[in-house]
Structure 1
Amino acid sequence: MTSMLTTPTRLRKSREASETRFKWFGRGAIAISLAFLVFMVGSIILQGKGALTTSEIAVTVDLSAENIDPNDIEATSFDSLMKKSLRETFPEVTSRGDKRKLYGLLSVDLGFELRDHILADPSILGGPQKLWFTASDDADLVISGSVDRDLPEDERRMSDLEISWLETLENNDSVNRHFNSKFFTNGDSREPELAGILSALMGSLLTLSVCFFVSFPIAILAAIYLEEFAPKNRLSQFIEVNINNLAAVPSIVFGLLGLAMLLNTFGLPRSTPLVGGLVLSLMTLPTIIIAARASLRAVPPSIREAALGMGASPVQATFHHVAPLALPGILTGTIVGMAQALGETAPLLMIGMVAFIADVPTSIVEPAAALPVQIFLWADASERAFVEKTSAAIIVLLVFLVLMNLLAIFLRKKFEKRF
């Protein structure tokens, strides 16, 4: 009798121990995943935070009438005036090589920055003025501490002489750091200190707009027809199987399709949001169709039956009753598809959106870059300052992806109805 009672007890304890171990295995898997995520995001933030701030150097510039004609400002050689001001700041610099190093403390855009200062505030004309200018990428790395000043001279790009000039400027309160607004307002540039993501952001926005307005109506109508009206025969089954297969096709295949069909056959302009949006719409169509069909299938059959019983036609029952109830899932699938399209790089590379684009696009037929492609280009650049730019651009891309997913969750909760 005792043996008969202890055997079930042992089995129960063994089962409970197995369940406990399984729970801890699951918790361990989640902890490891979170650790990897924190490590990845943390390393990106640590590398990219330097690009969100920039260094400026103050230079006293003589803006008297001898150097600038107030009636003809554009005739002034701003580059020459800036170089003259730097030589006056450090009069001990006399050799040609040292002068080139001295000019290298500031961005190559120093002349344009001086002109912008004057055009923004003409009242500064008439005498010496202390103005702030963007530091070069090498100087910025030293000022921000990304490059150790105590390293041997042959292990860093800036010489001891250049660092001594920076220290002199720092002692005179002529160096500061502040938020790098140019990172969000400038287009791409060969110079890291001037490069920004505005052109890539606009290119991604225009590309996603084309993708949405092409894929959303086609995908929703296709899903409604296949789920509500299409006869269940071999043809519809063949279409369903191919839609599911297309959702698993590598994205670069859609890029090859766009290259062959849109560019080579139809002759659409290369490296434009129009072509990029069409290629991404081909890629997102299966995702949206599958999500929309699942949402339509989740609506209780009683809704359809009640509408048909009240005299509604099949079209009225679908569009007036079923589709509105499936809207939360449809919107969620659409936003997830758009988020996937936002992060795609391979299809855009295949259609030529890898070109250097400095100007901000204003239409879907102008050459443009996209944010993932911009990250790819900066990651391949040789200058060390582009490493920070790359990480900062990744942070921006991650923020947009998180916001899009949060929007999907919000819309699902807002329009969701319990049955």
Structure 2
Amino acid sequence: MTDPGSQAELVRHSLRRRYRKERRFRFYGIAAIAVALFSLVILFTDIISKGYTGFIKTTVTLEVHLDGELMYLNDASDPDQIAMADFQAPIIKALQGYFPDAVSRADKRELSRMTGSYASNQVRDLLKENPGLLGSTRTIEFPAHDTVSVYVKHAGDPGYSIRLSEQQQRWTDELVRKGVIDNGFNDVFFSNGDSREPSNAGILGALVGSLLTMGITLVIAFPVGVAAAVYLEEFAPRNGFTDFIEVNINNLAAVPSVIFGLLGLAVFIGVFGMPRSVPVLGGLVLALMTLPTIIISSRAAIKSVPPSIREAAEGIGASKMQVVLHHVLPLAMPGMLTGSIIGMAQALGETAPLLLVGMVAFIVEIPDGFFSSATVLPVQIFIWAGSAEQGFVELASAGIMVLLAFLITMNAFAIWLRKRLERRW
């Protein structure tokens, strides 16, 4: 006969062992969440610390005397003279007003590197638009050279190497003290396309290209994905062929995105001869990549509609098509929209498939149509991250912040839409 005391002790020992396991399991879960949050904090801290200066521009404001003799320009309305004029000379002369001792050729060359390489273009464009300004004095704000901008914003930061000479550093410090060189909001970042000069580079072209590409993706992937999900879930016969289709749809959702880029390269460019680096091509490739996600999420939404809805509709004489269109589809639409938004957010952040279809080109102009040469925001970030100029490092990080803002907004909208429209049965 078993001793009741020893049996109770066994039960208590078993309970203690079970509680220890539960505590360990809870600890592992909390530790996993803590590691994930810590990694996110490190990631966002690194991106923000490098990228916030991308939203700041460094400018040089000068009183420039548009001296025709200095520029070898007698008539600002003459295209031939405009083409041959020296528009850098008045900028150097304005800087010499602060440093009268800088008279040698080497000094002038170093002064010319205080402003961006497009500063002379600003003077040229100003005189082309207003030839009557020749001989007058104008206050002009120039973007600072990349090396000057890095020095002003990152002096003392070991992550950035200062490429100014000691003399240029002294000049920069003096101009900062006098308010000639100043920092401000980088509106150029949101109003310009790409550029070889970091101070003139912006993301507007990439943003427009992303919107055009996403428009094509949505127009193709959403209706095709929803139609495929409705057919497979409501109309397709249950046989080996439909099982084969379902397995392949699930497999396609796990295929690396670069494979879809290879498919687009082989089919859309190789067979159909579509032009490279256009939003239509990028949209088609991303639509193929997004379709499995939309189909799977749409089928899950359709399955979540209770059978009693279908039975009630059929009971009052509705046809199969009426049941689907008037009852099942409206009730499943919130889940379909949520899955589609998440799929679009995934497509927005893709780079690999677009690189293979040529959307890695250097595009300066803002695209004005679906067949204009364009790039997208992830590819623009990829290009900047691989550039040699240090100014592009902060622009790439700022671009990542903008992209993350779009992705977080899209996912938040999907969550809000699901909460707003979902029905509990």
* TM-score > 0.5, shorter chain as reference: yes
Q: Kindly indicate whether residue 315 of structure 2 is the aligned counterpart of residue 309 of structure 1.
A: yes
- Residue in structure 1 matching 2:147, options 138, 141, 148: 138
Q: Kindly indicate whether residue 110 of structure 2 is the aligned counterpart of residue 101 of structure 1.
A: yes
Q: 2:266 corresponds to which residue?
A: 260
TM-superposed CA distance for 1:372, in Å, is: 0.9
Q: Distance in 2 between matches of 1:10 and 1:279?
A: 61
**1:181-219 Cα distance to aligned partner (Å, 9 max, x none):** 111111111111111111111111111110110111101
Q: Distance in 2 between matches of 1:315 and 1:374?
A: 46
Pairwise mapping of residues 216-231 of structure 1 onto structure 2 (< 5 A)?
Answer: 216-231=222-237
Q: 1:294 corresponds to which residue?
A: 300
Pairwise mapping of residues 220-259 of structure 1 onto structure 2 (< 5 A)?
Answer: 220-259=226-265
| Aligned partner letter, 2:221 | S
Q: 2:51 corresponds to which residue?
A: 48
SS at match of 1:265: coil
Q: 1:148 corresponds to which residue?
A: 156
> Could you tell me whether the CA contact under 8 Å between 2:253 and 2:292 is conserved in 1?
yes
- Residue in structure 2 matching 1:17, options 11, 16, 20: 20
**1:302-361 Cα distance to aligned partner (Å, 9 max, x none):** 001101111111111011101111111101110111011111111101101111111110
Q: Distance in 1 between matches of 2:338 and 2:96?
A: 61
Q: 1:272 corresponds to which residue?
A: 278
RMSD of the TM alignment (CA)? Answer: 2.5
TM-superposed CA distance for 1:245, in Å, is: 0.9
- Residue in structure 2 matching 1:86, options 95, 111, 136: 95
**Cα pair distance change 1:69/1:241, threshold 3 Å:** same
SS at match of 1:368: coil
Q: Kindly indicate whether residue 341 of structure 2 is the aligned counterpart of residue 335 of structure 1.
A: yes
Q: Distance in 2 between matches of 1:169 and 1:384?
A: 22
Q: 2:410 corresponds to which residue?
A: 404
| Aligned partner letter, 2:49 | L
Could you tell me the percent identity over the aligned residues?
47
TM-superposed CA distance for 1:114, in Å, is: 3.7
| Aligned partner letter, 1:326 | A
**Cα pair distance change 1:208/1:41, threshold 3 Å:** same
> Could you tell me whether the CA contact under 8 Å between 2:150 and 2:162 is conserved in 1?
no
> Could you tell me whether the CA contact under 8 Å between 2:151 and 2:162 is conserved in 1?
no
> Could you tell me whether the CA contact under 8 Å between 1:60 and 1:85 is conserved in 2?
yes
SS at match of 1:54: strand
Q: 1:8 corresponds to which residue?
A: 11
TM-superposed CA distance for 1:85, in Å, is: 2.5
- Residue in structure 1 matching 2:390, options 384, 395, 404: 384
TM-superposed CA distance for 1:118, in Å, is: 7.3
| Aligned partner letter, 2:31 | G
| Aligned partner letter, 1:147 | A
TM-superposed CA distance for 1:15, in Å, is: 1.4
Q: 2:372 corresponds to which residue?
A: 366
**Cα pair distance change 1:413/1:129, threshold 3 Å:** same
| Aligned partner letter, 1:148 | G
SS at match of 1:158: coil
Q: Distance in 2 between matches of 1:26 and 1:8?
A: 27
